[in-house]
Amino acid sequence: MQSTSVFLFPFLLYLCHLKCHSRDIITSDNLLRNEGETLVSAGKIFELGFFNTTSDDGEFRTYVGIWYRASPETVVWVANRDNSIPISAELLVVAFHDDGNLKVLDSTGNSYFSTDLASAPSSKRTAKLFDSGNLVLIDDLSGKRLWQSFNYTTDTFLPGMKMDDELKLTAWGVTQKDPSTGNYTFQLNPGGNSEYAILQRTVLRWKGSAPAASANPFSFWELPPFVVSMLSNSSKESDSSPQSTPNTSHVPFFNKTRTDNIASVSYTRLVMNSSGEIQLYGWDDKSRGWFEMWSEPQGPCGVYNTCGKFGICNSEIMPLCKCLPGFDPASPDDWMAGKYTGGCSRKSDSNCNKKSEFDTFLNMHAMKFEEPDLLYSEAKSEEDCRKECLGNCNCLAYSYFEVAKPRRGISSTETVSRCSIWTSDLNNLQEDYTGGFNLSVRVAITDIEQGAWSGKKAASLNLKALIISISLTAGIITMCCISYVIYRNKKVARRKAEEIIVGNRIDYLPESESSSKYVITEDDKKRIDVPFFNLKSILVATDNFSDANRLGQGGFGPVYKGMFPQGQEMAVKRLSSHSSQGAEEFKNEVMLIAKLQHRNLVRLLGYCIEANEKILLYEYMPNKSLDTFIFGHALRQLLDWNIRFDIILGIARGLHYLHHDSRLRIIHRDLKTSNILLDEEMNAKISDFGLARIVEGKSIEANTQKIAGTFGYLSPEYALEGLFSIKSDVFAFGVVVLEIISGKRNLELFEGTNLLGQAWKLWMENRALEVMDPILVEKFNETEALKCINVALLCVQEDSGDRPTMSNVIVMLGSENMALPRPNQPAFVTRRNTTSSTSSSSYFKPDTGSNNELTITVEQGR
Ligand SMILES: *[C@@H]1O[C@H](CO)[C@@H](O)[C@H](O)[C@H]1NC(C)=O
Ligand SMILES: *[C@@H]1O[C@H](CO)[C@@H](O)[C@H](O)[C@H]1NC(C)=O
Ligand SMILES: *[C@@H]1O[C@H](CO)[C@@H](O)[C@H](O)[C@H]1NC(C)=O
């Protein structure tokens, strides 16, 4: 007997265990204790019970929730998320209260959760956990569903729920361990038509629409169809069936690599996670683990309005954000620190109120934008649209494009033109090379003249205004003359009327690189914005490349002065004939370079490709190059501090344009003082940009076997490893700045070190200003000079990652009282004296005489 009961007791316990733990209901007579008891849905998919976790404040807390049986840590619903049970509470139960509500109670009668139904004491009710993860309260008599947890979602959306205006997912607390209400919600966008949104409290963080709704050209973030059908409960799954296989083929951002094994997915769930991302997870039966199938927002530009108003986001380019042309960061300090949400503000009001002739449009390609403020339906052409914008004082920008629209009932489509007009802030602008539309931004012509993105101070406005108007006039006259001459030359037919023609659109950014891959037709001459010159005319103009006409030898070949009919002078660059590039590639590059237009870049005026010759024709700069001034004893006197500072700013702007604004992301690769030309007004103009691309073609995309560059300006990573980037140009820029302010060549020796070493030494000894050109003594602005030295030293730092970008440089140079970072030791300042010249740095032994102009070619190790 004794032995039987000893045997039976565990057996009964076991039976009870089975029975107690596999029930899926709570009834009025049958409660659920916090003693390891759980409800398990019929198909053993979900489990309901008590669980413990550590909240954000470090407290140990108890909650009632529903989780996957296969993955107990994956809690999909929490009853008492904001009413956690303290550790002191005893005898916890989930039970029906006398009033007919399901409650979570402790021994003292505290309630931590209630279904909050109207009191109905006498009725019999059952709470049942379904295989969908839904806890449902059913009236025993009528069988009616009185309450269900699916209507009280926490952070997880399960198949069988339906996202409607009532439902929202609210993330857990800060750590994803604390179920309490967090900062992020996912819901239908209150303002939007079938748009879903992630809000951070009340701020829109992301929005996306169903693909069907995206015939609307202004909605550019789409949800995968599978997610949409899940959210709208239109997919086929019912309580227990596995997901239908998502069709992801036309969803570009669907995580393809991870959806290969989609067949073995048995459950899916959508989670608003505590760091603000919505994630779709699938359960992989084979590996018995969750994997992420989709998440948003993707990347920094995926977050709504990352760059603030009038800011443009492009995650492929550093820095992430830039301002629309004609706009400056609203708070340059924040902008510098990578806080872009403040956006940009207008540099100067458009002149509309005075005279609309002073406004023009800059055209941005591949832009994505929000719905416009106005749609001007009468526009039949871009011309109409532009006029409409110009005629409306409040119009900030317009976009004209044509969309194909399916015709009702007929299977064909019709083209509908859209003229969109913005009169208030432009938000959430994105640059997207794979799609997008043209956006034409209204700017004051003076802003372009100043360099649309300059960080230049507004000081001494009167003088500046005078200079600007002079240069504007000069520009117009020059343009007219050139146009006229070329017109007479009958080469103008293909030249677009451009620039300074009031209210006309200027192609602000060149075509994206991808579009240059098109097979070239005979229409090259139309395509390339500068005229073609035949070799014969060039031979005549340069007197057969006579030495008398030779202006110099650049890294990529000699330059000649060419005298063309009608007295036009041009600089003729004869590219090294060993260039391996084919004709098509060359034409492509010319086309691209021709589109690079900036006040601080030497302008390309023509090209020639004939026989073995590849020739570029540039505007002729009578003042020659900066090095003849800076390093020439007499000419140096002409460059006072203001001129030098402006030259530095000009170079910075030109380089910034090449790096960031020109879309092509041109790395100059041979920036040096002798490559800076000066026009009559001593404006700096960078020459030889883009030539590395031409001479070396595609090889420049990767590590290059050849190093084109000049001793003294080579960054360590480029010189030693052949690695180049915009930061190698930044290095060269730093050297040029030091040369400009000191009047000395980097490779001159000072006490056994080069100019960089000298500047660094003085800087460390707080005697930085002693590096200044003695000619300038007492005649320079100390703050500006120190700023330049500081920036230059930042640029020449050994580690390319430490060096600023050109946009940083511009902000730093333009700022008045900004605390600049302290530089680290520059590259190549190893002390050298006569005995140590065999050290590793002897590679950089200065060449004697003018040899340092040579293009060096170093075979790479592999
Ligand atoms: C979702 O769809 C299923 C199956 O069609 C249906 O039983 C369920 O009631 C729907 N859910 C909602 C919240 O409408
Ligand atoms: C939220 O989701 C994103 C995107 O998948 C992920 O990178 C992040 O780590 C998640 N955050 C948490 C707290 O799980
Ligand atoms: C943008 O403008 C260019 C002309 O500048 C035109 O060729 C192109 O088709 C336009 N793009 C779109 C999307 O309308």
- Atom of ligand 1 at shortest distance to CA of 161? 13
- For 119-163, what is each residue's pLDDT tens digit? 887 778 999 999 999 999 999 989 999 999 999 999 999 999 999
Q: What is the pLDDT of residue 827?
A: 81
CATH number of 20-152: 2.90.10.10
In short, whether 826's Cβ falls inside 6 Å of ligand 1 is no
User: With a threshold of 0.85, does the pTM exceed it?
Assistant: no
Do 46 and 76 touch, CB atoms closer than 8 A?
yes
Do 832 and 679 touch, CB atoms closer than 8 A?
no
Phi, psi of 249 (to 5 degrees): -60, -35
Task: Tell which residue, 650, 655, 677, has the closest CA to residue 729.
Answer: 655
Atom 8, ligand 2: which residue's CA is nearest? 275
Residue 785 pLDDT more than 90? Answer: yes
Tell how far the Cα of 135 is from the centroid of ligand 1, in angstroms. Answer: 14
DSSP conformational letter for 660: I
Tell how far the Cα of 438 is from the centroid of ligand 3, in angstroms. Answer: 6
In short, whether 238's Cβ falls inside 6 Å of ligand 1 is yes
- Atom of ligand 1 at shortest distance to CA of 233? 1
- For 212-258, what is each residue's pLDDT tens digit? 544 566 766 788 888 888 998 885 443 333 344 444 333 333 443 34
The strand ranges marked E within 285-354 are 289-296, 311-313, 321-323, 327-329, 344-346
Task: Tell which residue, 809, 756, 786, has the closest CA to residue 641.
Answer: 786
Rounded mean pLDDT of the chain?
77
| CA distances, 76 to each of 65, 128, 146, 233 (Å) | 7, 16, 21, 17
Smallest-distance ligand from the CA of 155: 2
> Which residue has better confidence, 489 or 201?
201
Q: Where are the alpha helices (DSSP H) in 417-501?
A: 445-449, 461-488
| Structure confidence at residue 553 as a pLDDT band (50, 70, 90) | confident
Atom 1, ligand 1: which residue's CA is nearest? 160
- Map 56-113 to HEC letters: CCCCEEEEEEEEECCEEEEEEEECCCCCCECCCCCCCEEEECCCCCEEEECCCCCEEE
Residue 6 pLDDT more than 50? Answer: no
Smallest-distance ligand from the CA of 294: 2
Of 168-172, 188-192, 607-611, which one has max mean pLDDT?
Answer: 168-172
Tokens at residue 70, please? 């296969």
Q: What is the pLDDT of residue 54?
A: 83
Cα–Cα distance measured from residue 16 to residue 496, given in angstroms and rounded to the nearest whole number: 88
Smallest-distance ligand from the CA of 271: 2
First CA to last CA distance, the chain = 88
Burial class (CB in 10 A: 0-12, 13-18, 19+), 539: middle
Q: 3-class DSSP state for residue 18?
A: helix
Tell how far the Cα of 238 is from the centroid of ligand 1, in angstroms. Answer: 7
| Structure confidence at residue 482 as a pLDDT band (50, 70, 90) | low
Out of 63-72, 374-383, 812-821, 826-835, least confident range: 826-835
CA angle 760, 765, 767 (to 5 degrees): 85
In short, whether 151's Cβ falls inside 6 Å of ligand 1 is no
Task: Determine which helix (DSSP H) or strand (DSSP E) holds 439, and give its type and residue range.
Answer: strand 437-444
Q: What is the pLDDT of residue 163?
A: 92
Q: What is the pLDDT of residue 375?
A: 87
Long-range contacts of 561-565 (CB under 8 A, 24+ apart): 561/620, 562/538, 562/617, 562/620, 564/537, 565/489
DSSP conformational letter for 700: G
Q: What is the pLDDT of residue 104?
A: 95
Q: 3-class DSSP state for residue 541?
A: helix
Q: What is the mean pLDDT of residues 560-576?
A: 84
CATH architecture of the domain formed by 623-862: Orthogonal Bundle (1.10)
Residues with CB under 6 A from ligand 2: 176, 273-275, 277, 279, 292, 295
Q: Could you list the active site residues?
A: 670
Cα–Cα distance measured from residue 457 to residue 814, given in angstroms and rounded to the nearest whole number: 6
- For 361-409, what is each residue's pLDDT tens digit? 888 888 888 888 888 888 888 989 998 898 888 888 999 988 776 666 5
> Which residue has better confidence, 70 or 489?
70
> Which residue has better confidence, 661 or 214?
661
The strand ranges marked E within 79-230 are 93-96, 102-105, 111-114, 125-129, 135-139, 145-148, 156-157, 168-170, 184-188, 195-200, 203-209
Structural domain boundaries of the chain?
A: 20-152, 168-298, 311-448+456-473, 495-620, 623-862
Tokens at residue 204, please? 């829109």
Q: What is the pLDDT of residue 693?
A: 67
| Structure confidence at residue 464 as a pLDDT band (50, 70, 90) | very low
Cα–Cα distance measured from residue 515 to residue 14, given in angstroms and rounded to the nearest whole number: 73
Tell how far the Cα of 233 is from the centroid of ligand 1, in angstroms. Answer: 6
Q: What is the pLDDT of residue 224?
A: 85
Tell how far the Cα of 583 is from the centroid of ligand 1, in angstroms. Answer: 64
Class of domain 495-620: alpha beta
